[in-house]
């Protein structure tokens, strides 16, 4: 292991080589100083087609289904033709995808992109209200879903929204069955050729509002984002060569255990789309289970595992992690929330030579912000690394008034991977985007080495195991109970999930935590239901404008 100064010198030299004007990662700089990768794909269709060159390389494993890259694209092409010819969908229409991680999710996504449709991945943990809201908000023309998600919305689905069901017993009253669409004789599909500025994706994200907002990204933004991930992989390899050698020497095909949900940028961009483009293999878990994860890592010789801190914690704590079961595991990634120092120490002690990495990003920026891996991660574990080359990062109350290095303040981001805006929310878009700069809602500082350290959060959200939860949404559901006068939701530290939902409640009549949780579970996904509830006999503290004073409320209750 090199010391910090030696690493910084070597790493900066690597950056210079990677960004050289004749390099694939060369940059173009605009008049306003913003940068973009010169050779990045200009559309998502183009970015995805890069995967075809890998031919019969193994690509997907899920239960008894196995796909090579070629067979995956054959399935995606068949569905593309069915969407165009059998269902008559037109470019620009929105198609929601609602199911747990499985090959059909990925096939549906690629088919939609190739047909010029705009995929709208939905949170598979969402219940009736959340799923239906997103379907109606995005004016979805087609819902591609599995049976559990279809059963959530069947009774209230808008008439204009057709359904393509990927499983079931075959007699459900829907527009189309997956098996039928995949067996239809059809002409070869016509791959859509969108303009770079055309909309390509809508991802719903929870924030300070009671309802999730649709983050709209253009083709060009996604091309830049995926190319930035390629750059980060190259940077990690060049700056940590001793950690790459064991991976290369193993002779194993790079294989990731896919645990992040595909409706997240971590699962969709950093794993699925990135690995498809680069001919790497994925082993899909239907849902997280540490025993099953270890079995798959061992039997399928997985070389890479990336997960939320709670997943990593359970994996590292398992007695079989320190065994031959994980002998093939060379790369470990953390995402979706900050890791504790104890977790980092455990991770580095068990796999001292592993390529370990993490980063900082937002759905609004397609996950592209800062990142580091390997020696940089080990030497500077409390940071999220350097901003990626196409990302400008500013600390201050506004981008026009940046604070000096080492100062703590609000974080602003600017990059060509940034969203176009929130779907049908011009006011919220204007409040978040300022002349190309995105207000992150986080607080941090850029240290003397230019690395970002996240120190606090401005936005009223709770991050439980990598999932963003709107405090306002939790409060509104609690307040809908007849016995509740008002409620305040906030983050509570938790050793397993990082944060869980806490709730302070002022009631008009006696109510137990179990009764309130039962009521809320009928309207919220399980991970949003408060795990800790405090009742108070007095009104909750508010300021002069009526805003809940959560620090005062927590202090009063001794939280």
Q: What Rg do the C-alpha atoms of the chain give, in angstroms?
A: 23
What is the C-alpha to C-alpha distance for residues 264 and 241, in angstroms, rounded to an integer? Answer: 30
Q: Which residue has the tokens 């991802």?
A: 203
Burial class for 537, CB neighbours closer than 10 Å (0-12, 13-18, 19+): exposed
Q: What is the phi/psi pair of residue 371, to 5°?
A: -160, 155
Q: Which neighbouring-strand residues pair with 61?
A: 66, 283
CB 406, CB 444: distance < 8 Å: no
Helix or strand holding residue 376 (H, E): helix 375-379
CA atoms within 13 A on the CB side of 335: 28
Closest C-alpha among 152, 150, 76 to residue 117: 76
DSSP symbols for 161-219: -EEEESSSSS---SSEEHHHHHH---PPP------TTSEEEEEEE--SSSS-EEEEEEH
What is the C-alpha to C-alpha distance for residues 332 and 427, in angstroms, rounded to an integer? Answer: 40
What is the C-alpha to C-alpha distance for residues 457 and 209, in angstroms, rounded to an integer? Answer: 15
Q: What is the pLDDT of residue 350?
A: 84
Q: What is the phi/psi pair of residue 166, to 5°?
A: -85, -15
CB 498, CB 338: distance < 8 Å: yes
Query: In angstroms, how far is CA 90 from the centroid of its own chain?
Result: 27
Burial class for 341, CB neighbours closer than 10 Å (0-12, 13-18, 19+): exposed
DSSP classification of residue 430: H
What is the C-alpha to C-alpha distance for residues 484 and 516, in angstroms, rounded to an integer? Answer: 9
What is the CB neighbour count within 10 angstroms for residue 335?
A: 26
What is the C-alpha to C-alpha distance for residues 409 and 416, in angstroms, rounded to an integer? Answer: 23
Closest C-alpha among 206, 205, 227 to residue 120: 205
Q: Which neighbouring-strand residues pair with 507?
A: 484
- Residue 105, C-beta contacts closer than 8 angstroms, at least 6 positions apart: 97, 99, 262
Kindly give the pairing relationship between strand 331-334 and strand 304-307: parallel
Q: What is the pLDDT of residue 397?
A: 92
Task: Look up residue 558 and give its two tokens.
Answer: 């001794």
Q: Which residue has the tokens 């995805």?
A: 48
pLDDT tens, residue by residue, 23-58: 999 999 999 999 999 999 999 999 999 999 999 999
What is the C-alpha to C-alpha distance for residues 502 and 462, in angstroms, rounded to an integer? Answer: 9
Burial class for 318, CB neighbours closer than 10 Å (0-12, 13-18, 19+): middle
Per-position pLDDT tens, the chain of length 559: 678 999 999 999 999 999 999 999 999 999 999 999 999 999 999 999 999 999 999 999 999 999 999 999 999 999 999 999 999 999 999 999 999 999 999 999 999 999 999 999 999 988 899 999 999 999 999 999 999 999 999 999 999 999 999 986 656 566 688 999 999 988 899 999 999 999 999 999 976 666 889 999 999 999 999 999 999 999 999 999 999 999 999 999 999 999 999 999 999 999 999 999 999 999 999 888 999 999 999 999 999 999 887 788 789 889 999 899 999 999 999 876 666 677 777 878 888 899 999 999 999 999 999 999 999 999 998 899 999 999 999 999 999 999 999 999 999 999 999 999 999 999 999 999 999 999 999 999 999 999 999 987 788 889 898 888 988 899 989 999 999 988 999 999 998 888 999 999 999 889 999 999 999 999 999 999 999 999 998 889 877 656 788 988 999 888 8
CB 413, CB 369: distance < 8 Å: yes
Closest C-alpha among 513, 509, 489, 508 to residue 499: 489
What is the C-alpha to C-alpha distance for residues 463 and 456, in angstroms, rounded to an integer? Answer: 12
What is the C-alpha to C-alpha distance for residues 537 and 7, in angstroms, rounded to an integer? Answer: 57
Q: Which residue has the tokens 């890069």?
A: 50
Q: What is the phi/psi pair of residue 344, to 5°?
A: -65, -40
CB 165, CB 174: distance < 8 Å: yes
Within 321-431, strands assigned E span: 331-334, 355-360, 370-373, 386-387, 392-395, 409-414, 421-422
What is the C-alpha to C-alpha distance for residues 102 and 32, in angstroms, rounded to an integer? Answer: 43
Alpha-helix residue ranges (DSSP H) falling in 382-504 = 426-432, 471-479
What is the CB neighbour count within 10 angstroms for residue 65?
A: 11
| Domains in the chain, CATH or no CATH each | 66-217 (3.40.50.980), 462-556 (3.30.300.30)
Closest C-alpha among 256, 285, 258, 264 to residue 463: 264
Closest C-alpha among 278, 283, 297, 296 to residue 237: 278
């Amino acid at each position: 292991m090199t010391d910090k100064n030696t690493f910084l010198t070597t790493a900066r030299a690597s950056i210079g080589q990677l960004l050289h004007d004749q390099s694939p990662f060369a940059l173009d700089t605009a008049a306003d100083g913003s940068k973009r990768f010169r050779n990045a794909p200009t559309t998502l269709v183009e970015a995805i087609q890069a995967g075809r060159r890998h031919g019969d390389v193994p690509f997907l494993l899920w239960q008894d289904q196995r796909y090579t890259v070629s067979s995956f694209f054959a399935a995606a092409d068949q569905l593309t033709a069915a969407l165009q010819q059998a269902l008559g969908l037109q470019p620009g229409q929105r198609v929601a995808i609602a199911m747990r991680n499985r090959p059909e999710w990925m096939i549906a996504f690629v088919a939609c992109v190739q047909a010029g449709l705009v995929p709208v991945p939905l949170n598979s943990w969402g219940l009736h209200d959340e799923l239906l809201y997103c379907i109606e908000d995005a004016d979805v023309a087609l819902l591609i879903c599995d049976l559990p998600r279809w059963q959530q919305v069947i009774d209230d689905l808008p008439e204009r929204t057709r359904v393509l069901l990927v499983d079931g017993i075959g007699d459900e009253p829907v527009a189309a069955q997956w098996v039928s669409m995949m067996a239809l004789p059809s002409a070869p599909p016509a791959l859509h050729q969108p303009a770079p500025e055309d909309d390509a994706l809508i991802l719903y994200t929870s924030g300070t509002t009671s309802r999730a907002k649709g983050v709209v990204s253009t083709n060009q933004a996604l091309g830049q984002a995926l190319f930035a991930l390629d750059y980060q992989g190259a940077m990690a390899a060049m700056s940590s060569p001793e950690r790459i050698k064991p991976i290369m020497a193993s002779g194993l095909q790079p294989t990731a255990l896919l645990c992040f949900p595909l409706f997240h940028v971590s699962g969709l961009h950093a794993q699925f789309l990135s690995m498809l483009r680069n001919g790497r293999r994925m082993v899909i878990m239907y849902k997280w289970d540490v025993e099953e994860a270890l079995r798959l890592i061992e039997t399928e010789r997985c070389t890479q595992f990336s997960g939320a801190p709670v997943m990593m914690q359970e994996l590292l704590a398992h007695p079989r992690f320190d065994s031959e079961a994980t002998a093939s595991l060379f790369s470990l990634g953390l995402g979706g929330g900050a890791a504790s120092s104890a977790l980092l120490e455990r991770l580095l002690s068990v796999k001292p030579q592993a390529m370990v990495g993490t980063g900082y990003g937002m759905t609004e920026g397609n996950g592209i912000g800062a990142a580091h891996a390997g020696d940089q991660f080990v030497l500077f574990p409390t940071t999220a690394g350097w901003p990626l080359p196409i990302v400008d990062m500013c600390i201050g109350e506004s981008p026009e008034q940046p604070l000096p290095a080492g100062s703590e303040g609000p974080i602003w981001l600017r990059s060509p991977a940034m969203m176009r805006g929130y779907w049908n929310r011009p006011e919220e878009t204007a409040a978040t985007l300022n002349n190309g700069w995105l207000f992150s809602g986080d607080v941090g500082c850029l240290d003397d080495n230019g690395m970002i350290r996240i120190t606090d959060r401005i936005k009223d959200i709770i991050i439980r195991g990598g999932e963003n939860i709107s405090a306002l949404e939790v409060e509104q559901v609690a307040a809908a109970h007849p016995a509740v006068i008002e409620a305040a939701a906030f983050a509570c530290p938790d050793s397993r999930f990082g944060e869980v939902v806490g709730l302070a409640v002022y009631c008009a009549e006696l109510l137990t935590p179990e009764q309130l949780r039962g009521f809320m579970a009928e309207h919220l996904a399980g991970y949003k239901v408060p795990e800790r509830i405090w009742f108070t006999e007095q009104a909750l503290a508010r300021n002069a404008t009526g805003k809940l004073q959560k620090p005062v409320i927590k202090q009063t209750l001794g939280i």
